[in-house]
Amino acid sequence: MLGFDTSTAASAACVLRSDGEAFECEPSPELLGGPPGHSRELMPAIAACLDRAGLGWSEVGAVAVGVGPGGFTGLRIGVATARGLA
């Protein structure tokens, strides 16, 4: 399962493998408190999580996305990304 959240100023992603091991990609400290950059941060964070988990895109069986509360634009980017990946 792939999950991610864009409801705050920084994007975050995680992958849960079928063996129960979880891999998360947190935003770097310099991104926290800065302007939101979901459109440029989210896909690299997702790719990094999949890489850490040793999984490919075709092995993602489910996609979960945070739906708020949060800023409209960030949530829209997250939901659109989830729909595109599904």
pLDDT in tens, 64-84: 999 999 989 999 999 999 999
CATH among 3.30.420.40, 3.40.50.720, 3.40.50.12170, 1.10.8.350 for 2-85: 3.30.420.40
Is the dihedral angle over the CA atoms 63, 39, 33, 27 positive or is it negative?
positive
* Residue 24, strand partner residues: 14
Between CA 77 and CA 2, with CA 17 as vertex, the angle to 5 degrees is: 5
Average per-residue pLDDT in the chain?
89
d(CA 47, CA 68) in angstroms, rounded, equals: 23
Mean pLDDT of 16-38: 80
Tell me the whole-structure pTM to 2 decimals.
0.85
